[in-house]
Amino acid sequence: MYNKVVIASDSFKGSLTSLEVAQSVAKAVKESHPLCEVVEVNVADGGEGTMDALQHTLGGRKVTLEVSDPLGRPVNASYVILDDGNTAVLEMSAASGLTLLTPEERNPSKTSTVGTGELIRDALDKGCRKFLVGIGGSATNDAGMGMMYALGFRFKDASAVELPPVGGSMIKVASIDMTGRHPGLSEAHFVVACDVKAPLYGPEGAAYVFGPQKGADKDMVEALDMGLRHFAEVSAAATGYDFSSLDGSGAAGGLGFAFRQYFAARLERGVEMVLDAIHFDELLKGADLVITGEGRVDSQTLTGKTPFGVAQRALRQGIPVVAIGGSVTLDHEQAQSAGFKDVVQITPAGMPLEEAMKPEVAAENIYQTIKSLLRKYE
């Protein structure tokens, strides 16, 4: 008999949102255990859906404004101000994402994070001083110069000529003028969702690892890496410290570096940022079972995706955790070593993927799977 069950699943991408997954699980739990307290939590891992998940759980309003896309063209992008009036939740891909460009337009020597900075500036102007920022899916490799530019920083070459804040300018930066930085930054606190461990430059850095998918050829990758290295040196001279080798500095083309180096941001796994923000540990108290999941549960799940993050929190309180997935490739030993009581595929054997991904089919498969599991555990 269960007295309290917490449901905290990521979305099943292309099929169901986090909330829709929770609703299907909850239906099965409530039918099997009518007196059970069921807590439905909308969660994400810092990527797509994070802003909506936090808004749903914590309340807030969406703000939409015209900002610059990666090539400086106008684009409408949104962020959320939570109900506390002090916290802004942003996804940098809304303004500076790769999906905003056609494959032919991808060129990280010309792209910029200005639009991301414009979102932050707007939130600062509206009184926000705490920022939760997801930085996945970038089209940029500018070490955050664009974001900093939008917040009042200026970059000059050896002749004191101002440089455009794009990836190709990094190698030319001789000085950084911080006198015009937004006054709100001195009071702002940033938490950045960052699941990438790359340093700023070098063979494992932003340019070499992620440059090609953003449109960089071999020569451009080398040039960008030199630019990142040079920008780190100039930044160290300007601030007196150097975070270029920190895990995550290379995330989003060096945006992680800019956040840490200039804004004293905390870089942490996306799911940890989300779970902390919603006070997940408190929601877990008194639970007999936690049900989590995502569309595909595989070895990548164990690198810090939502189900793994949820499981780690639950295990600290001694609560058993079950994970469900549209497809599951973890074996029993892997699942148990990661702390899961059970990992179960919701899709019946032989069901075509196209059929399984239909929202109504996925919802029914979740419902039937949970009903079956609860019978097994009784």
Cβ neighbours around 29 below 10 Å, total: 24
> In terms of Cα–Cα distance, which of 368, 366, 304 is closest to 19?
366
15/25 Cα distance (integer angstroms): 15
pLDDT computed for residue 280 by the predictor:
97
pLDDT at 258 over 90: yes
CA dihedral sign of residues 258, 260, 266, 268: positive
**Range with lowest mean pLDDT among 119-123, 149-153, 183-187, 295-299:** 295-299
Instruction: Look at strands 87-91 and 74-82 and give their pairing.
Output: antiparallel
Q: How confident is the model at residue 303 (pLDDT cuts 50, 70, 90)?
A: confident
> In terms of Cα–Cα distance, which of 171, 169, 252 is closest to 206?
252
What is the overall mean pLDDT for the chain?
Answer: 95
- Helix (H) or strand (E) holding 284, with range, is helix 280-284
Which is higher by pLDDT, 46 or 81? Answer: 81
Which is higher by pLDDT, 113 or 378? Answer: 113
22/41 Cα distance (integer angstroms): 7
The answer to whether residues 198 and 255 touch, using CB atoms and an 8 Å cutoff, is no
Residue 162 gets which letter from DSSP? B
pLDDT at 195 over 90: no
Percent of residues, the chain, with pLDDT higher than 90: 90
207 to each of 100, 107, 141, 198, 348, how far by Cα in Å?
A: 20, 12, 7, 10, 42
> In terms of Cα–Cα distance, which of 272, 259, 264, 278 is closest to 195?
272
What pTM did the predictor assign? 0.90
Distance from the first to the final alpha carbon of the chain? 7
Residue 201 gets which letter from DSSP? S
Q: How confident is the model at residue 49 (pLDDT cuts 50, 70, 90)?
A: confident
The mean per-residue pLDDT over the stretch 122-126 comes to 98
Residue that the structure tokens 């990094």 belong to: 170
Give the domains, in start order, of the chain with CATH numbers: 4-42+284-377 (3.40.50.10350), 50-271 (3.90.1510.10)
> In terms of Cα–Cα distance, which of 280, 279, 234 is closest to 261?
234
Residue spans of beta strands (DSSP E) within the chain: 4-7, 37-40, 60-68, 74-82, 87-91, 130-134, 154-156, 175-177, 189-193, 266-268, 289-297, 321-328, 342-345
- Which two structure tokens, joined as six digits, stand for 2? 């269960």
pLDDT at 331 over 90: no
In sequence order, the 6+-apart residues with CB closer than 8 A to the CB of 147 are: 113, 114, 116, 117, 120, 255, 258
Alpha helices, H only, 85-217:
93-96, 114-125, 145-150, 206-210
pLDDT at 3 over 90: yes
In sequence order, the 6+-apart residues with CB closer than 8 A to the CB of 194 are: 46, 135, 248, 251, 256, 267, 268, 269, 270
